[in-house]
Amino acid sequence: MSTSESIPEFQPPGSGNGYRALMQNRPFVILWIGQIVSQIADKIFFVLLIDLVIHYITPDFPENTAKASVMMANTLPAVFLGFAAGIFVDRWSKKQILWASNLGRGIMTFMIPLCPKQLLFLLLIALGESILTQFFAPAEQATIAVVVERKLLMPANALFSTTMIGSFVVGFAVCPVLLGWANGWGGTYGGAFLVGGLYIAAAVVLAFLPIKDDKPVDAEPQHPWKEFKQGLRYIQKNRLLSNAMVQLAILYSVLAALIALAPGFLKTINENQREFSFILSCAGVGLILGAALLGQWGDRLNHWPLPLIGFLSMGFVLISFFFVTQLWLILLLSVLLGWGAAFVGVPMQTLIQTQTLPDMRGKVFGVQNNVINIALSLPLAIAALLADATSSVRGVLLAIGILVCTIGLWSWRRTRQVLREEAYPDL
């Protein structure tokens, strides 16, 4: 075969009939509704923990330290337990994990009014809720690939991404209103009753999920450490899979760095630092628009190098931040950044699902959750330290923008090289 022949460009499956076909898929609709209710409960739960801290400490105890402790208790399991949870997702029924984890989180939240008003008990509830979440997340991702046919994975992931980002953008703005309403009729613990009720509602919805699980019933359970190494080898051997994982890690690292640098960036144009949420909200709007575009018309765009376009768009925006000083232009560019993020995140998530065998999904999505949570955590500190060390938030954004463009080109070339070697191994 001649080397001059064109090399196949990998693209995730097209979107078929888009959202209309998904809405006719009853198992998917139930899973999606369960995700929406769970996401709302997650956001309110986090805000609820912070609000309750003041009632669980003595007057001489540092309030900020207490709040930071609760936040750490609610986030550390996401960094350390993702892969371990993924192993059990492959062993157990995904449907049972979905409804049972929500039921457990609901019961834990209902226990808040019954526990003594001591910080330790609030920390334990925050930790327990987060541990159960680590089981829910990979089971949810793995179930998408079970209930949705291959050609509809792109719009399915786009819809789930839209819901997730939408809950992030809208959720934290609506949470204080909902908590205020709940406390109005339920007193101090009205929020706990609201969140617990939402988790129980999600459990009830997901209990009616009509799926036949793809868990291998005859598989002999292995030692968790052996399965851990097996999962890592699987990801390492499948270079398309590992490349997609790297690109998702880079994407979330950039978003985390933006969160860390946005307040200082607004300060450089004499804007209120507290309004940094405007930048994040605009980026969220852009991501929702990009995901909606891919979900509805992804089949018409699947011949484009979507991740490359996404990375170059994000890099262009970050480089532009070095030069612009008008707030309206910054917000408009933030929409473009989110739009580019969708062009990376949705295709790469779809690629991971299509490249993963059924009996490896839990392990792979467990690793993915670990990678994403680490990618969201480290840049928050590193970006802020760099900005302080260089005394130039704009300079750090410029450097990140150049790096993102470079990585985008590198990952695109690497993917093409892998496809060339797999398509023409004898060349």
Q: How confident is the model at residue 154 (pLDDT cuts 50, 70, 90)?
A: confident
**Same structural domain, 137 and 243:** no
pLDDT for 162 equals: 76
Question: Residues 274-289: what's their mean pLDDT?
Answer: 78
Provide the pLDDT for residue 229: 74
Q: With 0-12 CB in 10 A as exposed, 13-18 as middle and 19+ as buried, what is 342?
A: buried
Q: Which residue has the higher pLDDT, 209 or 1?
A: 209
The domain tally of the chain equals 2
Q: Tell me the two tokens of residue 161.
A: 């991404």
Q: Are residues 150 and 237 in the same domain?
A: no
168 with 227, same domain? no
The CATH number for 371's domain is 1.20.1250.20
Looking at the fold, whether 194 and 295 belong to one and the same domain comes out as no
Could you tell me if 95 and 142 lie in one domain? yes
Q: Among 295, 294, 360, 346, which residue's Cα sits nearest to residue 142?
A: 360
Give yes or no: residues 18 and 144 share one domain.
Answer: yes
Question: Do 44 and 192 fall within a single domain?
Answer: yes
* 38-59 per-position pLDDT tens digit: 988 988 888 888 888 888 887 7
The confidence band for 15, taking pLDDT boundaries of 50, 70 and 90, is very low
Q: What is the pLDDT of residues 205-214, one digit of tens each?
A: 999 998 765 5
Task: Report if residue 88 sits inside a domain.
Answer: yes
pLDDT for position 419: 66
Distance of CA 228 to the CA centre of its chain: 22
Residue 179 · residue 383 · CB < 8 Å? no
**197 and 263 share a domain?**
no
Instruction: Judge contact between 313 and 260, C-beta under 8 A.
Output: no
In this predicted model, what pLDDT tens digit does every residue of 297-338 receive, in sequence order?
766 666 678 889 999 999 999 999 999 888 889 999 999 999
Residues in CB range of 226: below 8 A, 6 or more apart: none
Domain of 57 in residue numbering reads as 13-218
Does 8 fall in a domain?
no
| Candidate from 149-153, 348-352, 414-418, 422-426 with smallest mean pLDDT | 422-426
The model scores a pTM over 0.85: no
5 pLDDT above the threshold of 50: no
